[in-house]
Amino acid sequence: MADTSPAPAERAAPVIAVSGATKHYGTVRAVDGVDLEVAPGELFGLIGHNGAGKSTLFKMMLGLIPATAGDIRIDGSPVTGGGFRAVRRKIGYLPENVVLYDNLTGVETLEFFARLKGVAGSECAPALERVGLAHAARRRVREYSKGMRQRLGFAQSLLGKPRILFLDEPTTGLDPEAIREFYVILRGLKSDGVTMILTSHILAEIQERVDRLAIMASGKIQAIGTVQGLREQMDLPLWFRVRLAHEDFDHVRTVLGGLPVSAVEAREDHVAVECRRESKMLVMQALASLGDKVLDLHVHEPSLEDVFFGFSD
């Protein structure tokens, strides 16, 4: 029978397209059959335990180490082909451990990287400014704090105005304010259409900031999607935290009677009610019927951490 369904909406070709990527070191399957696509302008997160294979996958995507098997294309170009040289100019990379020379100043460091990349030296001062290091441009890197070194590494990745950014644990060593500033820069880059992929161990930090993410464990992608999509796939329970005007626990039990809740527990200063996502509105309405007996109500959605442990354990 002829297919009469409408043609799928036209999607832009992925900037990063990974198919069956595999890397073995002897018996270690560092990366084991990874499929992944990142769309133009997307901010994509890659999370996983130590040794999950994230850095190895990054290096393969950058053509820095050869794959044992699989196909990796950036901007349509295979990373192993001659055409990749031109694509590489569009890429910025912040490695997990960026190598810096202690005797150089911040601006000399960027000038060094600019020469390596064939980028105009005039980009260095603005790059330092952008990452909040203008004040330390003339100080030697040996005097830099961990966070300042990380910012300098990030600044070098921005040289040449890359259209694709690979950031391996970019917020390591940054304090909370610096992390916020870092993501403000990423938002700016995103609004300019830059495609970005980053790794992080700090799940709370990336859960509100990436468009989509992949959870990696033992060299494989265990799950991929939006944070909300992954929550729904896991079908993790929600918690209501109900603070009552009086210790009227039995009343709560009564209004929830017959509803599909998996737990109702009296805690120190509140009652905790657990239910599945599909029962959320029913439970909410039942609790609302308690009127002014309820002083406060919080809904606790499962965090990315809950989702992560669900997929990676």
Ligand X SMILES: Nc1ncnc2c1ncn2[C@@H]1O[C@H](COP(=O)(O)OP(=O)(O)OP(=O)(O)O)[C@@H](O)[C@H]1O
Contact positions vs ligand X (CB under 6 A): 25, 28, 30, 48, 50-56, 96
CA 164 and chain centroid, separation: 15
Give just the sign of the alpha carbon dihedral 223, 230, 311, 198.
positive
Distance (Å, whole) CA 96 – CA 153: 10
Task: State residue 72 phi and psi, 5-degree precision.
Answer: -130, 125
Distance (Å, whole) CA 208 – CA 303: 10
Closest CB 105 distance from ligand X, rounded Å = 29
Of residues 61 and 152, the one with the C-beta less far from ligand X: 61
Closest CB 102 distance from ligand X, rounded Å = 23
Of residues 47 and 261, the one with the C-beta less far from ligand X: 47
Burial call 122-133: b when 16+ CB within 10 Å, e when fewer: ebbeebbebbbb
Of residues 66 and 257, the one with the C-beta less far from ligand X: 66
Distance (Å, whole) CA 106 – CA 216: 35
* Number of alpha helices (DSSP H) and beta strands (DSSP E) in the chain: 11, 14
Closest CB 186 distance from ligand X, rounded Å = 20
Who contacts 265 (Cβ-Cβ below 8 Å, separation ≥6)? 271, 272
Closest CB 201 distance from ligand X, rounded Å = 6
CB 140 within 8 A of CB 149: no
Closest CB 183 distance from ligand X, rounded Å = 20
Closest CB 166 distance from ligand X, rounded Å = 12
Of residues 51 and 257, the one with the C-beta less far from ligand X: 51
Closest CB 169 distance from ligand X, rounded Å = 7
Closest CB 141 distance from ligand X, rounded Å = 23
> DSSP labels for 238-278?
EEEEEEESS--HHHHHHHHTTS-EEEEEE-SSSEEEEE-GG
CB 294 within 8 A of CB 229: no
Of residues 28 and 184, the one with the C-beta less far from ligand X: 28
> DSSP labels for 3-20?
--SPPPPP-PPPSEEEEE
Of residues 25 and 101, the one with the C-beta less far from ligand X: 25
Of residues 51 and 260, the one with the C-beta less far from ligand X: 51
CB 234 within 8 A of CB 266: no
Of residues 167 and 286, the one with the C-beta less far from ligand X: 167
